[in-house]
Structure 1
Amino acid sequence: MLSTLTLPVTPFAQNCSLLWDDATRQAAVIDPGGELDRLLAEVGRRGLRLEQVWLTHGHIDHAGGAGELAARLALPIIGPHEADRFWIDALPEQSRMFGFPPAQPFTPTRWLQDGDTVALGQHVLAVRHCPGHTPGHVVFHSSELKRAFVGDVLFAGSIGRTDFPQGDHATLIRSITQRLWPLGDDTVFVPGHGPESSFGEERRSNPYVRGT
């Protein structure tokens, strides 16, 4: 069985997620934006073996710690879609701009495409390319858990910003309605910031996408 834990990190309270196999203790981390010592302490406390870094997109609060973490533990970095290469290349500049610790540059081990999968032991998650907030944003979906890790595409009561370079509002709405809603109203999602919700709840009540 898979288990998950959400750890808000960085001054932006970004939801970094740990995902692990209860039997083997194999683990992946999604969007390690920072506070790596705290993250690794949690990994150790739970007796996990961290094996992979998965990224939803290239913004500093989601990817700022990925290079250092991968270098420390010799981990592969998987994701996002290659359209976010320019954001990842700019991580050092982003860290200076937003007052983050210096971000170690990296090139992902594997870029992701819509329809790809990522695996943690015997557990497989689907990848959906959901541009709009950034052009290379991806989402990880576990049908086993009925859970999705959506980064900054969708929030409880809101949606991702589209005023960054290569952001686009209409594209973001299409990503939500065409790539997320088909995953089912009962799917719970972990957003990049703030509390969890479900796709059904957001379809009913979120003013940005209600009724779509």
Structure 2
Amino acid sequence: MVRVQSFVFSPLAENTYVLYDETGEAVIIDPGCYDTRERAELSGFIEQNKLKPGKLLNTHAHIDHILGNAFVKRQYEIELYLHPADLPVLRSAPIMAPHFGIMTYEETDVDHFLEAGQRISFGKSELEVRFVPGHAPGHVAFVNHADRFVIGGDVLFRGSIGRYDFPLSDYDTLIHSIRTQLYTLPDDYTVYPGHAQPTTIGHEKKNNPFVRL
């Protein structure tokens, strides 16, 4: 069984996730840890639970989701996975960071490119990569079918959707991604978003004003 531990990091209140199972092997998704205290919180949890991080995954490369990439790569000697379509977003991060009041962003390289349908393994567990562009051109979601949840980044929120007014964002593409890649999952799947509280596929199908079925 996969356990999902979330942290709320940075002035932008981004959700960072550590996923791990009974083997102790783990993946870190979208580390937004911004300062020394937040980095200590993340590493303290990993140390206290004797976890062994094996991969660093980004749903997309907006600045709030990648603030801790360099720290995590260095701290755990692991490699970064990102969809290639989000490379322009990643490369623009040093320019975008000051616009959000972030003055200490450290760049790092991508080691592996993600693709739709790919399976990411850790311990006895597996994540399916789903391509969900719109909020960002290379946005992906990570689906765990055994435990029925999605790490969804900034695509679908409780009662809302990701912003589509950023450079390289597109409203119609975002809605299409939600309908074809997330709403095709069973209603009881939990969605862990990039900000705020979790929701379920079924709740959003019935209640989301942007994409109600």
Verify same fold: TM over 0.5: yes
8 Å CA contact retained: 1:173, 1:209? yes
What is aligned with 1:19? 19
- State the 1:72 CA deviation: 2.6
- SS of 2:113's equivalent in the other structure is coil
User: Which amino acid in structure 1 is aligned with residue 189 of structure 2?
Assistant: T
Match of 1:85, SS? Answer: helix
Query: What TM-score results when the alignment is normalised by the length of structure 1?
Result: 0.95
Unaligned runs of 5+ in 1: none
What SS does the corresponding residue of 1:16 show, helix, strand or coil?
strand
Kindly provide the CA deviation profile for residues 30-75 of structure 1, in whole angstroms up to 9, marking residues without a partner as x.
Answer: 1001122211111112221122111000011111111222023211
- Paired with 1:166 and 1:94, the residues of 2 have a C-alpha distance of 13
Partner residue in 1 for 2:116: 114
C-alpha distance in 1 between matches for 2:112 and 2:167: 23
What TM-score results when the alignment is normalised by the length of structure 2? Answer: 0.94
Is the 2:24–2:123 contact (alpha carbons within 8 Å) kept by the matching residues of 1?
no
Name whichever of 158-167 and 67-76 sits farther off: 67-76
Aligned mates of 1:47, 1:68 — CA distance in 2 = 19
Runs of 4+ in 1 over 4 A off after TM superposition: none
Aligned-residue Cα RMSD (Å) equals: 1.1
Matched AA of 2:24: R
Report how far residue 106 of structure 1 moved: 1.7
Deviation at residue 101 of structure 1 after TM alignment: 4.5
Alignment of 1:105-184 (within 5 A): 105-184=107-186
For residues 36 and 155 of structure 1, the distance between their equivalents in structure 2, rounded to whole angstroms, comes to 26
Query: 1:78-132: per-residue Cα shift (whole Å, max 9, x none)?
Result: 12x1111011112222222212252221221111111111111231110001000
Structure 2: where are the runs of 5+ without partners? none
